[in-house]
Structure formats: structure tokens, C-alpha cells
């Protein structure tokens, strides 16, 4: 399983989760197996300065990601991720490693849309 985290920092799993998935400078991609980390890869958001609807969800899906986790996400982004087969989850920001622990414990489910434009 591969999980993408919208991130404010380039510090791998020590990074803070971003408040909004599309306006973050980085994405931390964590590949896991049986609730254990296999690999961690941080990439710059190629659409940080500006993006058109669907570009970032497509980028995340092309990374073979199963799940995207961010502090917030608009309803259209959630729809895009659903169309692309990527599960969207929103949660209050904290360190990626702590969110990953919550995810493995089954504490994170679904995405609540925000009104960010």
C-alpha cells in the first residue's frame, strides 16, 4: 500500500501535514506492508504555484498511491480522487509519523470537504 501525505516540509515522516492538499510544497509518499514502512519518498508539488482542477489528483494517482491524507480538501478534489481510485482522508495536521500511527490503528476514515478555493 502506498499513502501520500500533503506536507509542509521536506522531512519525510517527521514533516508536518499541510492544511490543504493542493497548496502544500511537498508530498510524502510512504509505502507500507503489514503496517510496516517499506519506503519513504518526498517529492515537490509540481503544481505548487498554480494548478487546474484534476492536475494534482492525477499526479498523486500516477504515483500508484492508494490513499491521500491532508489537513483539508475541497469537494471537487475529493470527487477527482474517487474517480481515480484513490481514497481521500482529512485529519487535523500533526507529524506524518503520528498520522500514520493513527491510520494503522483505524482512527482515520473519510474526507470532510472544506470550502477552500
The CATH number linked to 87 is 3.30.420.130
63 falls within a domain:
yes
Neighbours of 53 (CB within 10 A): 12
111 falls within a domain:
no
Q: Which pLDDT score is estimated for 111?
A: 79
22 falls within a domain:
yes
87 falls within a domain:
yes
Q: pTM of the predicted model, to two decimals?
A: 0.93
DSSP conformation letters of 42-68: EEE-TTSS---TTHHHHHHHHTT-SEE
Q: How many domains does the chain contain in total? A: 1
Those residues of the chain that have pLDDT short of 70 are 51, 113-117
Its domain, for residue 36, covers: 2-104
Please answer whether residues 29 and 41 qualify as being in contact, where contact means their C-beta atoms are separated by less than 8 angstroms. Answer: yes
20 falls within a domain:
yes
Amino acid at each position: 500500500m502506498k499513502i501520500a501525505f500533503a506536507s509542509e516540509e521536506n522531512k519525510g515522516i517527521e514533516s508536518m501535514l499541510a492544511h490543504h492538499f493542493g497548496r502544500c510544497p511537498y508530498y510524502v509518499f510512504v509505502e507500507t506492508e503489514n503496517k510496516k514502512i517499506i519506503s519513504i519518498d518526498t517529492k515537490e508539488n509540481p503544481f505548487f504555484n498554480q494548478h487546474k482542477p484534476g492536475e494534482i489528483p492525477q499526479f498523486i494517482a500516477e504515483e500508484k498511491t492508494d490513499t491521500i491524507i491532508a489537513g483539508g480538501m475541497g469537494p471537487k478534489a475529493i470527487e477527482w480522487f474517487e474517480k481515480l481510485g484513490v481514497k481521500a482522508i482529512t485529519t487535523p495536521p500533526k507529524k506524518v509519523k503520528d498520522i500514520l500511527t493513527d491510520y494503522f490503528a483505524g482512527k482515520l476514515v473519510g474526507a470532510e470537504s472544506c470550502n477552500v478555493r
